[in-house]
Each structure stands twice: as C-alpha cells, then as structure tokens.
Structure 1
Amino acid sequence: MIDRLAVFGATGDLTARYLLPALAALRAAGHLHGGFRLTGASREDWDGDRYRAWVTEQLDRHGAFCPADARRAVAASAHYRQADVTDPADVAAVVAGEDPVAVYLALPPALFPHMVTALHDAGLPMGSRIVLEKPFGEDLASARELNLLLAGLVPEQAVFRVDHFLAMTTVQNVLGSRLANRVLEPLWNSTHIAEVEIVWDETLALEGRAGYYDGVGALKDMVQNHLLQLLCLVAMEPPITLGERDLRDRKVDVLRSVRLLTDYDIAHRTRRARYLSGRSGGHTVPAYVDEEGVNPRRHTETFAEVELELDSWRWSGTTFRLRSGKALGQDRKEVAVRFRSVPHLPFGHEGAALPNVLRFGLEPEGMTLDMTGIGSRAQALTPLSLTARMEPPALPAYGRLLLDVMRGDPALSIRGDEAEQAWRVLTPVLDAWERDLVPLQEYPAGSDGPPPRPHEGEQRPRSALLHPEATPDDAV
C-alpha cells in the first residue's frame, strides 16, 4: 500500500472540500498509519506552516464529521512545495523519493497534458500511480492523446481516472439490487422496462465556479462522465466477478452498444438550455450570463438532456434519458427505472394503475419502489411507495476512491478505452450543438427547466445495427 500522496492543485476547492476530509476519514478508520505523508503543490508562495494552517482550517470547515485527532494527524502529515505544474524541475522536486507515490492531479482538465508531460521529464519512482479527475480530455481526439501520454508514463493498471459517483453507496446498490435479487434480475430488460431516467437536477447555481464551468457546461461536466457511468451500471450484463477486469469489460460493452446519434436524432432527442434570473434554493439567482466570470458568447449550457438507445439483446426498445441542470426548482438526483404497465387490469374504472418505478436516490441516498395497491374501498386502486433507508457509508465517496488508489485497486476507476467510448457517444452531440443544430433554450431559475420540445414523442427511424466504425469482428 502506498503511503505517500502528492496533490497538484493542493490549495483548490477539490482538495479543501473532498480530498482532505477523505484523508481524515481514512485516518479515523485506521487505513492511514503514522508514516503517511501528504505533499501539497500549488502556485501560492507559501511555506509548510502556512499550508498546514490552511489544511487545519479546511478540515475544521469541511471535515468536522471526522474526529479531531484524525484531522490533526492529517494536518501534521502535510508538507508544501510551490510548483509550476508545467515545469519538470518543479514537478520532480514534489515527487522525488525512492518510495512510490500517488500523484493526484486536482487541476483543470486543460492542464492534464502539460502535467503528464512534465511527469514524463521528471520521472516517477517505480510502482507510482497517477490520479485524474473528470473530464478526461475535451473530446474524443484529446482523450486519445491523453491516453497515449499516460501509457508512456505508467501502466494502465496504475492510472486512476476517478469518478466519485462510482463510490456512492446507492450507486453500488444498483449492482447489488439487480445482481443479488432473483425477483429483479429476470425483469431487468426491455421486455419489462420501458425507460430509465438518470437525473442530476440541483437547485445550486454557479456558486462562483465560472472559471471551470463556463468552459465546460452541463454536458461535459455531468452527462459525459457521471451519468454515463450510471448508465453502465444499470445496463451492463452481469459480470463474472466484481474484479477490475470483469467489471470494466462489461461497462465498456454498454458504451460500445450505444447507438450513435445522427443529426436528426440530436435535433429530436437532445435539449440544452441556460438559466435566467429567478429564485432557486431560497436565494435570488442572477441570470447565468450575468454571473461573475461568465462569457455570454460561449453559449455554455447549464441544462443538458440526451436520450440514448442501446443496440443490444437486453435493451433494444428501452429509452435511457440522461439529464442534468442547475438552478432548478427542486433537487432531484436519482436513477429511476420505469417498468411497463401490466397488460390487463381487472378492476374496472376504480382508479388507475401507475407504472412501477424503482428509484435509486443518489443524494440523499436511498431506494423507493412506487407501485399500486388496493385502497380503503374494495377494488379501488391507490398509489403505494416502499422505501428502504440506507446505512450511512463507512467512508465518504472520495475516501473509498483514495483507499483504492493507495491499495492499487482500479475497479472503480475509468479504464482508458472506457473514457474514449464515452466521448464517442457524446462527441456527435457536442459537434451538433457547436453548429447550433439544437437551439439554446432558456429557463427561469427555480423552474422545472426548459419547456419540452414541440416534437416530443415523434418516432425516428432506427439506425443500422452496426455503428459506422464497427468492423465485422466487432459484430460477432
């Protein structure tokens, strides 16, 4: 197990809100011993004392759920070096040593190629690992280039393209619910499931993140990574084991089966929008274009929705809707599996049977099954909901991911070909939006989002079963 972590971007929001509390949780759970060493690297002209004071402050603010002695131990383990992430000499000084090191790039994605190039020149101790946050590249071409750079630095098994959604308890329970329950797995197909909605709607607006968000937008920030990962877990074939190879092979199969969207599909099956001024989450929210640091000419979307279909035996005929939006009227963060209606109701006109919906709540975590039962009057149908409360996780999501990095288990990280396949799915959408094929709608902050498309419900012709780039071998 590696006991040395070097974080580049060590004074940023990601480190303060997630990485430091995760380290404190690991310490409290006994996963980090006294020899653990944290090296923070950033542009600020700080010394070690100032950095440790900053770490203490952030842990008190964001990691108060951890015991005080664990927070103090993490702060005491912290060291600091001022560094230019593109300068091999600076980078070498941070990672220097004989023992392997886990290098965490808590940086804007645009800096990844420069940072990896600097690591090439600096060199890494044998057995080191590298951790990257999403998004992995800006498009398919840049993802491939980044993967080539990484392949020349460390083995694929030592590359951790992390997505903290995969470490959420409820996300893990998606697999547990369908794979460990006889009552669900026989129904987990298009014969019984009409639609799957994967939604991350939030009342939260930009909250000062224009420096990152305005260059990315909702499609790249949420759909291309987090929501596609959830799609993989919902739609994958049962793996032989949950080991990294079996699990990630099945996830790649799902992404390869996604039918590529044509321009016609994109015009009819995607939406993009950005919020106007209004009230959301109990606060007055300015229009997105008036937020500090936003460039209105970029036409950055704060709402993105994409409907996908899979060309597979299990899922042909089921719609997968991926949606994420900011500054909406209510938080809705869930995977909703909508089952088809029963073929016949013997209850006359005494109420209506609603389709069964199995909901995996992401935040807050939980499970709910919406179904229909008999009400107080005989043969009168009434909605019922069965709710399961989740036990609090032993570790926060980032704690689980960091533990996997230290132990060298990449099962919950994104493999290189998986990252490329995710871009293959959404690059046509990005290209079409860049050409304004889909209008940029607007919605008031605090509303339910943009209005539905006027052509909602139209059927489109099926594409060829094979993807354009597929070879006969791919089809076998």
Structure 2
Amino acid sequence: MIDRIVLLGATGDLSARYLLPALAALRTAGHIGDGFRLTGASREDWSSEKFRDWAAEQLDRHGESFPADARRAVAASADYRRADVTDAADVRAAVAGDGPVAVYLALPPSLFPRVVGALHDAGLPPGSRIVLEKPFGEDLDSAQELNQLLAELVPEQAVFRVDHFLAMTTVQNVLGSRLANRVLEPLWNSTHIAEIEIVWDETLALEGRAGYYDHVGALKDMVQNHLLQVLCLVAMEPPITLGERDLRDRKVDVLRSVRPLTDDDVAHHTRRARYAAGRMGAHDVPSYTDEEGVDPSRRTETFAEVELELDSWRWAGTTFRLRSGKALTADRKEVAVRFRPVPHLPFGLGSAAVPNVLRFGLEPEGLTLDLMGTGSRAGDLTELALAARMDPPGLPAYGRLLLDVLNGDPALSIRGDEAEEAWRVLAPVISAWERDLVPMEEYPAGSAGPA
C-alpha cells in the first residue's frame, strides 16, 4: 500500500470538497495511519503552515461528519510546495521522497498533457501511480494522444482514470441487484425490457462554475463519462469475477456494441437545450447566457439527451436514454428500467395496466418497483409500489477511489481503451451539434426542461 499522495492543484475546489474529506474518511476507518503523508502543490505562494491551516478549515467545512481527531491528523500530515505543475523541475521537487507515490491531477483536463509530460521529464519512483479526473481528453483524438503519453510514463495498471460515479454505492447496487438475484437476471434483456433511462436532472444551476462548465456543457460533463459508465454496469454481460480485467472487459464490450449514430440518427434521437431566465423556489435565476463568465457564442448546452441502441443479442430492441440537465424543477437522479406490457390482460375493459418500472435511486439511495395489483372490486387494477432504502456507505465515493489507488486496485477506474470507446460513441453527436444539425432549445429555469 502506498502511503504518500501528491495533489497537483491542491488548493482547488476538488481537493477542498472531496479529496481532503475522503482522506479523513480513510483515517477514521483505519485505512491510513500516522505514517501517511500528503503533499500539496499549486501556484499559490503559500507556506506548508498556511496550507495546513487551509486544509483544516476545509475539513471543518466539508468533512464535519468525521471525527475531529481524524480531520486534525489529515491536516497535520500535509506539507506544501509552490509549483508550476507543467514544469519538470517543480514537479520533480513535489514528488521527491522515498518509495512510490500516488500523483493526483486535481487540475483542469486541458492541462493533463502538459502535466503528464512534466512528470515524464521529472521521473517517478518505481511503483508510482497516476490519477486523472474526468473528462479524459476533449475528444477521441486527444484521448488517444493522452493515452500514449501515459503509456510512456507508467504501466496501464498504474493509471487511474477515476469517475466517482463508479464508486457510489447506489451505482454499484445496480450491478449487485442484477447479478445476485435470480428473479431479475432472467428478465434482464430486450424480451422483457422496453427502455432504460439513466437520468441526472438537477435543480442546481451554474453556481459560479462557468470557468469549467462553459467549455464542456452537459454532454461532455455528464453524458460522456458518468452516464455512459452507468450504462456499462446496467447493460454488461455478467463478468466471471469482479476483478479489474473481467469487469473492465465487459464494460468495453458494452461501449463497442453501441450502434454508431448517423447525422440523421443524431437529428432524431438527441436533444440539447439551455435554461432561460426563470424562478427556482423563491429565487430568480438569470438565463444561462447572462450568467457571469459565460460566453454566449460557445452555444454551451445545459441539457443533453441521447438515445442509444446496442447491437447485441441481449439488448437488440431496447432503447437506452441518457439525460442530464441543470436548473430543472426537481432533482431526479435514477436508473429507470421500464418493462414491456403484459401480453394479455384478463380484466374488465375499464382496467388498464401500467408497465412495471424498477427504479434505482442514485441520489438519494433507494430501490423502488412499480407494480400492478387488484383493487377493491374484482376486475379493477391499482398501482402499487415496493420501496427499499439502503444502508449508508462505509466510505464516501472519493474515499473508496483513493483507497483503491493506494492499494493498487484499478477495477473501478477506466481503462485506456474504454476511455477511447466512450468518445467514439458520442463523437457523431459532438460533430452534428457543432454543425447545428440539432437546434438549441430553451427552457425556463425551474421548469421540467424543454417541451
């Protein structure tokens, strides 16, 4: 187990909100101890003492659920180096030390190629690991180029392309429910399932993230990575084991089976939109184009919907709908599995059966099955719902990811060919949208989305 992490971009929002609390979770659970060391590197002209004070403040704000002694221990384990993370000499000083190190690129993805180049020139101790956040590249070509750079630096097993959705207990529950319950797996195919929706709708608007979001939009921010990863777990064939090779091989199979989209497919089976001025509860929300830091000429979407079909024996004939939007009337974050209607209904003409829907709640956690049952009179039907809540996870998603990095288990990270296949799936959509083959719709903030 590696006992040293270097955070490049250590003073950013990712470190403050997620990585530092994740380390506090690992300390609380006993996965890291007094020998663990954290090195922060960023462009701010700070001392180690100032960085420790800042880390303690962020832990008190974002990690208040963890014991105070664990928070103090994480802050006390830290030191800091001012660094240009694209300069080999600065990077060499940051990673210097005994034994292997995990280097976490908590940075804008546009910097990844230059930072990986600096790491290559600086040199890493044998056994070191590299961690990169999504999105991995900006398109298929850049993902392939970045994969080549990484291959020259460390073995593929030492590259962790992390997507925290894969470490969410709720997302893993999709796979667990499928494979551990005989009542579900025999029905898990196009014979019985008409459509599967993977949805991440948010009431949250831009919230000051224009510097990042306006360059990517909903398609690249959510659909290309998070939602495609959930699709892989929903649609994959049962793996022999949950080891990294078997699990990731089956995920790549799903992406390879996605039917390539033509321009006509994109025009008829995708949608894009952005929010106009509206009202969220008691608050007025400006239109996306009027948000601070937004360049309207980029035509960035805040809502994206893509329908996909898989050319495989199991899924031919089932529609997969991936959707994500901001500033909507309600949070809806779920996988909804919609079964086909029953072939015959031996009830009165006034009865109607609503198809069964199995819902995996991603946030908040939960599992709901919508069923039909008989009503108070013979021949009547009524809708029923069976609901279950899951126990809270032992570790937050980022805690699970960091533990896997330290232990060297890449099963929940994305393999290089998988990252490239994800871009291949959406490359036709990106191209068609850039050529305005799909109109940019609008929806009022606080509404259910485009009509």
TM-score normalised by structure 1 residue count: 0.94
Distance in structure 1 (CA, Å) of the matches to 2:337 and 2:320:
9
Residue range with higher mean Cα deviation, 150-159 or 279-288: 279-288
Distance in structure 1 (CA, Å) of the matches to 2:22 and 2:281:
27
Where in structure 2 are the equivalents of 1:363-382 lying within 5 Å? 363-382=363-382
Deviations 1:25-54 (A, max 9, x none): 000000001100010111111101111111
Distance in structure 2 (CA, Å) of the matches to 1:168 and 1:215:
26
**Number of the residue aligned with 1:130:** 130
Mapped contact 2:348–2:380 kept (Cα < 8 A): no
Mapped contact 1:204–1:281 kept (Cα < 8 A): no
Where in structure 2 are the equivalents of 1:38-117 lying within 5 Å? 38-117=38-117
Mapped contact 1:160–1:414 kept (Cα < 8 A): yes
Shift in Å, 1:282:
4.5
Paired positions, count: 451
Residue range with higher mean Cα deviation, 169-178 or 376-385: 376-385
Distance in structure 1 (CA, Å) of the matches to 2:392 and 2:96:
38
Where in structure 2 are the equivalents of 1:4-19 lying within 5 Å? 4-19=4-19
RMSD over aligned CA atoms reads 0.7
Where in structure 2 are the equivalents of 1:102-181 lying within 5 Å? 102-181=102-181
Say if 2:263 is the partner of 1:263: yes
Shift in Å, 1:374:
1.3
- Corresponding residue SS for 2:40: strand
Deviations 1:341-396 (A, max 9, x none): 00111111343111111000010011100111112222211111101110000000
**Number of the residue aligned with 2:324:** 324
**Number of the residue aligned with 2:439:** 439
- Corresponding residue SS for 1:199: strand
Shift in Å, 1:97:
1.6
Distance in structure 1 (CA, Å) of the matches to 2:377 and 2:165:
44
> Which amino acid letter does the alignment assign opposite residue 292 of structure 2?
E
**Number of the residue aligned with 1:353:** 353
**Number of the residue aligned with 1:231:** 231
- Corresponding residue SS for 1:130: strand
Where in structure 2 are the equivalents of 1:173-322 lying within 5 Å? 173-280=173-280, 282-322=282-322
Distance in structure 2 (CA, Å) of the matches to 1:362 and 1:388:
13
Distance in structure 2 (CA, Å) of the matches to 1:73 and 1:374:
59
Mapped contact 1:278–1:285 kept (Cα < 8 A): yes
Distance in structure 2 (CA, Å) of the matches to 1:206 and 1:259:
33
Structure 1: runs of 5+ lacking an equivalent: 452-476
Shift in Å, 1:208:
0.4
> Which amino acid letter does the alignment assign opposite residue 189 of structure 1?
N
- Corresponding residue SS for 2:54: helix
- Corresponding residue SS for 1:19: helix
Distance in structure 1 (CA, Å) of the matches to 2:378 and 2:70:
59
Residue range with higher mean Cα deviation, 274-283 or 205-214: 274-283
Distance in structure 1 (CA, Å) of the matches to 2:281 and 2:199:
18
Mapped contact 2:28–2:66 kept (Cα < 8 A): yes
- Corresponding residue SS for 1:219: helix
Shift in Å, 1:167:
0.7
Deviations 1:240-297 (A, max 9, x none): 0000000000000000000010000000000000001111255321100011100000
- Corresponding residue SS for 2:358: strand
Seen in structure 2, the aligned counterparts of structure 1 residues 428 and 44 have a Cα distance that, compared at 3 Å, is same
Distance in structure 2 (CA, Å) of the matches to 1:52 and 1:28:
19
Mapped contact 1:200–1:323 kept (Cα < 8 A): yes
Distance in structure 1 (CA, Å) of the matches to 2:50 and 2:352:
65
> Which amino acid letter does the alignment assign opposite residue 266 of structure 2?
I
Mapped contact 1:204–1:280 kept (Cα < 8 A): no
Shift >3 Å, 4+ stretches: none
Distance in structure 2 (CA, Å) of the matches to 1:442 and 1:353:
35
**Number of the residue aligned with 1:457:** none
Shift in Å, 1:85:
1.0
Residue range with higher mean Cα deviation, 341-350 or 225-234: 341-350
Distance in structure 2 (CA, Å) of the matches to 1:166 and 1:282:
35
Mapped contact 1:10–1:42 kept (Cα < 8 A): yes
Deviations 1:406-440 (A, max 9, x none): 00000000000000000000011001100001011
TM-score normalised by structure 2 residue count: 0.99
Distance in structure 2 (CA, Å) of the matches to 1:282 and 1:106:
35
Mapped contact 2:7–2:105 kept (Cα < 8 A): yes
- Corresponding residue SS for 1:379: coil
Give me the identity figure in percent: 82
Shift in Å, 1:130:
0.3
Shift in Å, 1:206:
0.4
- Corresponding residue SS for 2:392: coil
> Which amino acid letter does the alignment assign opposite residue 335 of structure 2?
V
Mapped contact 1:336–1:357 kept (Cα < 8 A): yes
Distance in structure 1 (CA, Å) of the matches to 2:239 and 2:344:
35
> Which amino acid letter does the alignment assign opposite residue 260 of structure 1?
P
- Corresponding residue SS for 1:273: strand
Distance in structure 2 (CA, Å) of the matches to 1:205 and 1:282:
14
> Which amino acid letter does the alignment assign opposite residue 284 of structure 2?
T
Distance in structure 2 (CA, Å) of the matches to 1:44 and 1:164:
27
